[in-house]
Amino acid sequence: MDLSVVVPAYNEAESLPELAEWIERVCTGASLDYEVIIIDDGSSDNTWDTVRILSAANPHLKGVRFRRNYGKAAALQTGFEAARGEVVITMDADLQDSPDEIPELVRMIREDGYHIVSGWKKKRYDPFVKRTTSKLYNYTARKFSGIRLHDFNCGLKAYNGEVVKSIEVYGEMHRYIPMLAREAGFRKIGEKIVQHRARKYGVTKYGLDRFLKGYLDMLTISFITRFGKSPMHFFGLLGTLMFIAGFVMAAYLGTRKLIFIRNDMRAPLVTDSPWFYIALAVMIIGSFLFLTGFLAELVNRRSSDRNRYLVRERLNIKV
């Protein structure tokens, strides 16, 4: 199969018929053998009824329904697991991503050899505050990750099929799939300016809190990619350095007391110095950090289960 289009949907019943028809028109015109996988992320409207109707009319359209709202990352991961295409494209269900971009994205993966092509909504139809905070967030993400993308959170992305089978998206890590892919060895990451369309139906599902979550997730994914396989390299090293620092402070206080005694001078009590308690606290914290790294290594070695999401129904998908 040439292409899998993965579409996470949460309360997007109004936009799905138009989106499905648009994708069908573009893929048919480009002579692509394709499938569309819509993930109903626990919608409270009639999104799933719409998916049922569309699936009955179009054999290329498939659906997965979650029992509750797990979030976009869970929806993408489930779609990635079900995808069978040589190229996998993700797009939002709100019609703000244009399916007209599909043929060029497929070409860039196939002919130009990119592992990932990320969309860049250079001209956005968003409020000023959202545009400004998005620019700040993306600037920080570029500097922090070293990946030169202008729009990390763009829902319109294309992947080599091997990429989506080699990574695991969880939590809210969908913003940082390029970082996960690079860590997995897929380093050819490109970018394409794509059309951003004003929202036609419904309301946005994201608030300003996503920017705070984005920064926290960026720290998490940076830690995981660097130390996820060897947490002892972080906790053990930090704990050892702290223990040594505390031990040096305590040794200094003890040596000073011995020098006073040897010279027949009145030696102050070691416990009278605040540095004694600082040294003690630092050594205790260092020991706990070392033990944390040791326990994390044990858990890391024994934990091999992937995240699982409760799927309520499937359409045209073999498990």
The two tokens of residue 317 are 């998908």
For residue 196, list its beta bridge partners.
97
CATH of region 3-227: 3.90.550.10
CB 117 within 8 A of CB 190: yes
Q: Phi/psi at 69 (nearest 5 deg)?
A: -80, 110
Going from N- to C-terminal start, the domains of the chain cover 3-227, 232-301
SS3 70: coil
In single-letter form, the type of residue at position 15 comes to: S
The two tokens of residue 150 are 């202008």
Query: What beta strand segments (E) does the chain contain?
Result: 3-9, 34-40, 61-66, 87-90, 116-120, 157-160, 189-193, 311-315
pLDDT for the residue numbered 202: 66
SS3 130: helix
Instruction: State the Cα–Cα distance between residues 178 and 265, nearest whole angstrom.
Output: 66
In single-letter form, the type of residue at position 49 comes to: D
Instruction: State the Cα–Cα distance between residues 303 and 21, nearest whole angstrom.
Output: 43
Closest CA to 157 of 90, 75, 108: 90
Instruction: State the Cα–Cα distance between residues 61 and 28, nearest whole angstrom.
Output: 13
pLDDT means over runs of 10, the chain (319 residues): 95 94 96 96 94 94 95 94 96 93 96 95 76 81 85 92 90 85 90 85 63 71 74 90 95 89 82 90 95 84 57 75
Angle at 294 between CA 290 and CA 299, to 5 degrees: 145
Residue-wise burial string across 148-180, b where 16 or more C-beta atoms lie within 10 A, e elsewhere: ebbbbbbbbbbbbbebbebbebbebbbbbbbbb
pLDDT for the residue numbered 205: 60
pLDDT for the residue numbered 203: 66
